[in-house]
Amino acid sequence: MLPLNLAVLPWGILCGSLAVQNGFTPIEAQLMSLLVFAGSAQLVAIELIAKNTPLLTLLITVFIISARHFLYGLSVRHKLVGHRLRVRLPVSFVLTDELFAFSHHPKAYQTQARLVYALSAGFSFYVFWNIWTLIGVVAGSLLPDLTNLGLDFAIAATFIALVIPSIKNKATLATVVTAGISATSFKVMGLELWLVLAALLSMSVGYWVDKGVQS
């Protein structure tokens, strides 16, 4: 997790500075990372709140962005079903994209040592995310607009680093290629739900390819 902790440094700084520059107090900006702990959802929520977006629209938007975590939970549920709730709750809190990418080992979360290992990795990301946010809060108060520096590219770079190593079969490759092409195309076309449509299309293509390979 340590390389990924460093990789999201620009992302965290952007999140903290963007919040301050959009009218959040430093405490509110830091609390968002402490309580919400969801990079992409935080960035979108900050911009929507700054534009006085209706609460229902804000909730629906964040729900759609964060819906993938429901799939993450379903994916690792069978590995944690034997553990008590006091164990499953902390795991669910730190089950970010980064930790999920390292959760595919058949024995992940199974033993006490592996569970402690996973929680340590997950909470290390939580700690660093809040440190980077704090730096962003301070930088946002002292420096000019940081949004023009292209720091948001860290979001794309992090996901690319997570996705590429997982391409190990034709179905996954078809999913990734379809997602990239369709997301770019839908975005250029100006579709408001470009991300959702691209995700649904790419998952469908991956499913069809997987079924075709199995048959």
Residue 160 domain-assigned? no
Residue 38 domain-assigned? yes
The last residue of a domain, from among 99, 124, 151: 151
Tell me: do 192 and 92 sit in the same domain: no
- Read off the pLDDT of residues 20-29 as tens digits, 9 standing for 90 and up: 888 899 999 9
Q: Which domain holds residue 172?
A: 167-215
- Read off the pLDDT of residues 113-153 as tens digits, 9 standing for 90 and up: 999 999 999 999 999 999 999 999 998 777 666 666 666 67
Residue 125 domain-assigned? yes
pTM: predicted TM-score of the whole model, two decimal places: 0.77
Tell me: do 98 and 133 sit in the same domain: yes
What is the count of structural domains for the chain?
Answer: 2
Residue 88 domain-assigned? yes
Q: Is 156 exposed, middle or buried (0-12, 13-18, 19+ CB in 10 A)?
A: exposed
Taking the C-alpha atoms of residue 1 and residue 5, their distance in angstroms, rounded to an integer, is: 6
